Structure 1
Amino acid sequence: MTSTAKVPRYSPATLERAERAVRCAPFQLKLFTTMRRQSVDIRAIAGSAGVENGYSQQPLPEMAVEQLMLWLIQVGLLRREVDGQGLTSSFRLTPLGHLLVEQWQQGGKLPAANWRDRLYNSLSRWLRLPDWLQPL
């Protein structure tokens, strides 16, 4: 008997926001392809380790990586890994993340961000309504 897993359907706005967030992030495709197979700890992304692992082009402070990862969680691309004691400092792809990374792997690189992407991403990221004011 074959199982047919349901593939979640995402709105065009959700897809565009997630794609834009990744285009504007300072990470390389290798980070996300690694996350397709396993979780990645923040210490492997931050600082010189991120460059050595091919996850970023330049060293990034751990606090900046944490904030960027939280944004990628908010747009639906990542989730935090959980173990027996709660949340960890590791991250994995969500089903949306798997879908997008699969598309980017076929192209061999992440799409580049333009000035409009950077502007919209900044506005989305920094001018968000608090959760309690968000419509249900």
Structure 2
Amino acid sequence: MSSVDSQNPPTFSYPSSTVERAKRSLVCSPFNLGLFAAMRHESVSLNAIAGENGVQHGYTKRPLSELASYNTLDWLIQVGVLRREVDGQGITDSFRLTPLGHRVVEQYQGKNWPAPSLSDRLYNAMIRWFRLPF
């Protein structure tokens, strides 16, 4: 029986449009790179992200309501960057990066989080509003 090397996760191939959409969604989100860097190593609960906790942990620039935080995290799940954490009882209120999320966040490690352009914000808002599949 062969063992699986958990240190080297499988490499997935994503279309460039998927990677670009993921980058745009992360950059346009109200979250700082610190949140996604933390999610590379552990799950992060909604309570740590919402309100003053998010600012104190360096996850957000300004306090976000729990609903606003959840809606944005849910959008990032739909984009394919995040996933909900599951335990023995079912789905929790914690979030982690997907393999796509790891790939995108790794590209920004040690760099400044880029500011989204106006066209990035408009395009992201349009796709998010209409939930277009591209």
- Normalising to structure 2: TM-score of the pair? 0.90
Match of 1:128 in 2: 131
Q: Write the distance in 2 (CA, Å) between the matches of 1:34 and 1:50.
A: 12
Q: 1:87: which partner in 2?
A: 91
Q: For 1:17 and 1:120, locate their aligned partners in 2 and report how far apart those are by CA, in whole Å.
A: 10
Deviations 1:20-61 (A, max 9, x none): 001110111110000000000000000000000000010000
1:117 counterpart residue number: 120
Letter in 2 for 1:77: V
CA distance in 2, matches of 1:111, 1:76: 20
Runs of 4 or more off by more than 2 Å in structure 1?
A: 1-6
Q: Structure 2: state its 5+ residue gaps.
A: none
> Mind listing any 5+ residue stretches in structure 1 that lack a counterpart?
none
Q: CA RMSD in A?
A: 1.7
Q: Between Structure 1 and Structure 2, how many residues are aligned?
A: 129
Change (3 A) 1:82 1:2: closer
Residue 97 of structure 1, aligned match among 101, 116, 129: 101
Summarize the alignment of residues 1-136 of structure 1 with structure 2, pairs less than 5 Å apart.
5-107=9-111, 109-128=112-131
Identity of aligned residues (%): 53
SS in 1 for 2:86: strand
* TM-score, structure 1 as length reference: 0.89
Partner-residue secondary structure (3-state), 1:20: helix
Give CA deviations for 1:72-122 in whole Å, capped at 9, x if unaligned: 001110000001111110000000011111111132x22210100001101
Q: CA deviation at 1:5?
A: 4.5
